[in-house]
């Protein structure tokens, strides 16, 4: 029997969440769960929350070292910025909720600029840029099964908090019977916007 090597890591690049934001997400999830049928949604655990900039999936031809260098270069060219929490949203739509999320207001355009810098660097490694429009959001829950999710209180608003962005992380996702677990492989703090 031929033994195959270890499965390629499922990698992604993300912005971590501070404790205050996680506490607010806990509060929102609690309020939302009270209005929805029990078991309708699978709620994202605090240790699994982050703002995803780019999901890379299994990238057998790329090493963690090459991706770490990308994270470092992007971070060095970035300056800290804030993303205020906004309102609830859903993918693909509020009428067919599969993913329930909390939006982030990128009024300054700095998060989009960060995403574009990252895409340029990843293109240099041979990856094709993502085609879908980037919507900064924090995933709160995913619908269970194919049933229509009804009863979401779309008027629910978060506290007036902002996600302070000052670093990015290279993350690995491990699928287990209990769900996905994430490990930080590398993190890099932002520089001063040097070119």
CATH code assigned at 99:
3.90.1140.10
Could you give the CA distance from residue 193 to residue 179 in angstroms, rounded to a whole number?
Answer: 37
Position 140 confidence tier, pLDDT thresholds 50, 70, 90: very high
Residue-wise pLDDT tens digits, 28-80: 999 999 988 888 899 999 999 999 999 987 666 677 789 999 999 999 999 99
In this prediction, residue 9 carries a pLDDT of 66
Q: Is residue 185 part of a domain?
A: yes
Q: Is residue 148 part of a domain?
A: yes
**65-to-15, 72, 83 alpha-carbon distances in Å:** 19, 10, 29
Q: Tell me what the mean pLDDT of segment 119-138 comes to.
A: 91
Residue-wise pLDDT tens digits, 154-195: 999 999 999 999 999 999 988 777 677 889 999 999 986 544
Token pair belonging to 14: 């993300």
Q: Is residue 142 part of a domain?
A: yes
Contact assessment for residue 121 and residue 73, using Cβ atoms and an 8 Å cutoff: yes
Could you give the CA distance from residue 130 to residue 143 in angstroms, rounded to a whole number?
Answer: 24
Let me know if 137 is a catalytic residue: yes
Residue-wise pLDDT tens digits, 77-90: 999 999 999 999 99
Eight-class DSSP state of 128? P
Residue-wise pLDDT tens digits, 4-37: 445 556 899 999 999 999 999 999 999 999 988 8
Q: Is residue 1 part of a domain?
A: no
Q: Which residues contact 156 (CB under 8 A, 6 or more apart)?
A: 28, 31, 32, 88
Q: Is residue 72 part of a domain?
A: yes
Domain that holds residue 46: 10-189
Q: Is residue 195 part of a domain?
A: no
Residue 126 CA, distance from chain mean position: 22
Catalytic choice (27, 38, 137, 186):
137
Q: Is residue 144 part of a domain?
A: yes
Average pLDDT along the chain: 89
Q: Is residue 5 part of a domain?
A: no
Tally of domains in the chain? 1
Catalytic choice (38, 50, 107, 181):
50
Token pair belonging to 81: 């910025």
């Amino acid at each position: 029997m031929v033994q195959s090597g270890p499965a390629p890591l499922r990698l992604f690049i993300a912005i971590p969440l501070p404790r205050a934001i996680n506490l607010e997400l806990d509060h929102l999830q609690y309020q939302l769960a009270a209005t929805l049928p029990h078991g309708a949604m699978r709620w994202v655990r605090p240790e699994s929350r982050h703002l995803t900039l780019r999901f890379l999936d299994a990238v057998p031809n790329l090493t963690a070292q090459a991706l770490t260098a990308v994270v470092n270069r992007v971070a060095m060219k970035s300056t800290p910025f804030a993303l205020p929490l906004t309102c609830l949203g859903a993918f693909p739509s509020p009428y067919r909720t599969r993913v329930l999320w909390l939006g982030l207001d990128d009024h300054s355009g700095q998060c989009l600029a960060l995403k574009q810098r990252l895409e340029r660097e990843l293109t240099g490694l041979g990856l094709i840029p993502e085609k879908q429009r980037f919507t900064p959001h924090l995933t709160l829950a995913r619908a269970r099964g194919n049933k229509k999710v009804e009863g979401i209180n779309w008027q629910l608003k978060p506290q007036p908090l902002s996600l302070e962005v000052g670093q990015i992380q290279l993350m690995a996702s491990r699928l287990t019977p209990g769900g996905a677990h994430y490990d930080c492989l590398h993190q890099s703090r932002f520089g001063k916007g040097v070119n």
